[in-house]
């Protein structure tokens, strides 16, 4: 018997399939529990699709230079609280609750598939749908995601003591936080106890003294005004300033505690950071922009807001002197890309940064980094 295919019959067939699907879904026979796992064929199929998707979407990506200790410090610092609770870490076992999820996150000290750096970037940036693997909190912050990739590349061969030094800081500010091991607060002699525990989290990356690490992984907080620090923290916590590294720790503490931590860091003695060599011509250009601005481009003198007198007048403006040049430059780049955000005065700076060229970013950042006090 020959059944002639007509549009009407195809339509009816599809409608019957749809109805059948709805009936099966409605009947409740499909098992959605996480116990028991997938059939091997389902598991193979899901991973095959995931791998192909990641590989194809990573094709156009260019891998930047991933060497240098600062990237490892940033990646490890975030991994300890953002990833280790699911993936485990050197010396930290995976929690049995996590192992009972479907699919279970791979425990990286036991299984780490040979992904290329650009593929890791895609996975960390966008996460994996239907698996519990989250996307990066600020997906537009490519610089942060590459730092995580640099760390992941080293993770499978990383000894426990190196991991702990990178993730918890040279002061060993806090115990690992995998959920199997309790979170220990340290006695800081500073703010009240609830703030101490939150501060111990900050100190892993910024140090108790707010000077960060020996390298330029983290911005200097010591001696920055209390008002600016508080507004920056609230901006991270409420999502108007974008950073996958800073939004989570800021959101872990409530607003009152963030205020106490801002007071703590504002009281730490300021000490300028060591700065890399820079050419005289570059520094001269930087000084010119800082003192006079670029009138032809409508750029005001930076010191009219970031100089000593202006800082005393409006403590919500940040001090730039003695800050890491790489940090200052990167903030300008983030504004230019539309990804910085910030506190209540962020639009002022967004407009100004938008008028600087990459060379001018570099020059003015290098000049400010070398100043050990606020000039007017």
Which is nearer to ligand HEC, 78 or 211 (by Cβ)?
Answer: 78
Identify which of residues 25 and 37 has a Cβ nearer to ligand HEC in the complex. 37
Minimum CB distance to ligand HEC, residue 152 (Å): 6
CA–CA dist 176, 147 (Å, integer): 20
> Using CB under 6 A as the criterion, which residues of the chain lie in contact with ligand HEC when the complex forms?
50, 74, 77-78, 82-83, 85-87, 103, 105-106, 113, 120, 123-124, 128, 131-134, 148, 152, 198, 201-202, 204-206, 218-219, 221, 229, 232-233, 243, 245-246, 249-250, 253, 261, 289, 299-300, 302, 304-306, 317-318, 320, 328, 331-332, 342-343, 345-346, 348-349, 352, 364
Least distance in Å: CB of 35 to ligand HEC? 16
Please state the φ and ψ torsions of residue 128, each to the nearest 5 degrees.
-130, 115
DSSP SS3 for 241: strand
Output the smallest distance, CB 181 to ligand HEC, in A: 17
Long-range contacts of 217-220 (CB under 8 A, 24+ apart): 217/69, 217/70, 217/71, 217/73, 217/74, 217/77, 218/73, 218/74, 219/323, 219/324, 219/327, 220/270, 220/273, 220/322, 220/323, 220/324
119-131 burial code (b ≥16 CB/10 A, e <16): bbbbbbbbebeee
Q: Which is nearer to ligand HEC, 208 or 246 (CB)?
A: 246
Complex with ligand HEC: residue 20 or 354, whichever CB lies closer: 354
Q: What token pair was written down for 228? A: 């600016």
Shorter beta-carbon distance to ligand HEC: residue 8 or 157? 157
**Backbone conformation region of residue 162, classed left if phi is above 0, alpha if psi is from -120 to 50, else beta:** alpha
């Amino acid at each position: 018997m020959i059944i002639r295919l007509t549009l009407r019959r195809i339509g009816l067939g599809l409608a019957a399939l749809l109805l059948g699907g709805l009936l099966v879904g409605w009947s409740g026979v499909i098992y959605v529990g996480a116990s028991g796992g997938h059939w091997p064929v389902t598991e193979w199929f899901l991973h095959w699709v995931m791998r192909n998707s990641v590989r194809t979407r990573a094709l156009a990506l260019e891998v930047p230079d991933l060497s240098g200790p600062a990237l490892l410090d940033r990646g490890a610092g975030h991994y300890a609280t953002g990833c280790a609770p699911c993936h485990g870490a050197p010396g930290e076992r995976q929690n049995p609750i996590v192992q009972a999820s479907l699919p279970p996150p791979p425990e990286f000290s036991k299984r780490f598939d040979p992904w290329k750096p650009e593929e890791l970037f895609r996975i960390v940036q966008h996460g994996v749908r239907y698996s519990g693997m989250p996307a990066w909190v600020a997906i537009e912050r490519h610089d942060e995601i590459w730092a995580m990739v640099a760390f992941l590349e080293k993770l499978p061969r990383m000894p426990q003591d190196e991991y702990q030094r990178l993730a918890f800081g040279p002061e060993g500010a806090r115990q690992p936080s995998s959920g199997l091991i309790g979170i220990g607060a340290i006695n800081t002699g500073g703010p009240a106890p609830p703030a101490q525990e939150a501060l111990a989290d900050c100190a892993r990356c910024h140090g108790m003294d707010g000077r960060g690490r020996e390298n330029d992984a983290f911005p200097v907080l010591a001696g920055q005004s209390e008002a600016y620090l508080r507004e920056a923290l609230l901006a991270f916590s409420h999502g108007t300033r974008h950073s996958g590294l800073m939004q989570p720790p800021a959101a872990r503490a409530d607003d009152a505690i963030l205020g106490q931590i801002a007071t703590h860091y504002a009281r730490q003695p300021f000490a300028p950071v060591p700065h890399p060599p820079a050419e005289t011509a570059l520094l001269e250009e930087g000084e010119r922009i800082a003192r006079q601005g670029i009138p032809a481009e409508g750029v005001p003198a930076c010191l009219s807001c970031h100089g000593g007198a202006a800082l005393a007048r409006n403590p919500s403006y940040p001090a730039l002197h003695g800050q890491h040049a790489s940090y200052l430059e990167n903030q300008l780049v983030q504004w230019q890309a539309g990804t910085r955000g910030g506190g209540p005065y962020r639009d002022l700076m967004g407009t100004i940064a938008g008028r600087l060229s990459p060379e001018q970013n570099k020059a003015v950042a290098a000049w400010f980094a070398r100043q050990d006090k606020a000039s007017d």
